[in-house]
Amino acid sequence: MNDRLLEIDRLYAGYRDVPIIRNLSLHVGEGEVVGVIGPNGAGKSSMLKAAMGLLKIFAGEIRWRDQSITHLAAERHMAAGIGYVPQVANVFASLTVRENLSLSVSHRGKVQASIERMLALFPELVPKLALAAGSLSGGERQMLAIARCLIVAPSLLLLDEPTAALSPLLVNGVFRRIKEIGGHGTAILLVEQNALQALAICDRAYVLSNGSNAITGSGAELVANPRIKELYLGGHAAPSGPAKASSAILNG
């Protein structure tokens, strides 16, 4: 039995007639946390957009649970069980935290229970429920963005650089939460510039270069790879996992 949720097979995708993704293949299995790292312009964010049905596909195939979704609209991807948290514009800034969460729940009778489930995972949002999302700190806003996506219980969560522009302490806290989410059984495809910490929480990872996967392996294998350490990790060894962060740290 194939336990792969998402499969991208020899994909070419991009904007208008310009391919950004070139002959890219990767997969994410049930409950896996899979990382994607690489230099700026490697096509990491474009890969997520293609996987979500937001990019023009020139060739290749995207499969979800063994069924082709290559040319389906993003709404169909969401309905199938794929959640996507973009790097920017991922919350409604003028709406309250509660309203942001409520909008994601289609069954009105389940709104409160669904919100309470997210607040148990992100208790830092409890005192912020009545505040506009635009007033949140960077860490709180990322928590809300992830909660908005998780509230519908997707099988796979696509995360586009969730720690971008956050301070080092906030980065630690966000990675800790991502690891917890993966531990609860949700598969995650994580694009990150913080390569060292991303690899520390990933089961497997891919290194992208010029729109295609150049190297793949377990997180530990890639951290130990001299080429990867030199190019992306600054020559340093990775820690065994992301540093512990208190709830207060995420509020900064």
Where along the chain do its domains lie? 31-54+83-250
pLDDT digits (tens, 9 = 90+) for 52-102: 999 999 999 999 999 999 999 999 999 999 999 999 889 999 999 999 999
Give the 3-state secondary structure of residue 236: coil
Task: Extract the tokens encoding 28.
Answer: 């994410």
What residues contact 198, with CB distance under 8 A and at least 6 apart?
A: 35, 37, 175, 190, 192, 205, 219
Segment 1-10 shows an average pLDDT of 87
Q: Most distant CA pair in the chain: distance in Å?
A: 54
Averaged pLDDT, 139-152: 94
pLDDT of residue 231: 67
Q: What is the pLDDT of residue 56?
A: 96
Look at residue 237 in the predicted model and tell me its pLDDT. Answer: 41
Write down the pLDDT at residue 251. 38
d(CA 209, CA 195): 14
What average pLDDT score do residues 140-149 get? 94
Q: Is the torsion defined by CA of 70, 74, 80, 84 positive or negative?
A: positive
CATH code for residues 31-54+83-250: 3.40.50.300
Q: What are the C-alpha distances in Å from 242 to residues 11, 199, 220, 249?
A: 32, 10, 13, 14
- Tell me what the mean pLDDT of segment 236-248 comes to: 37
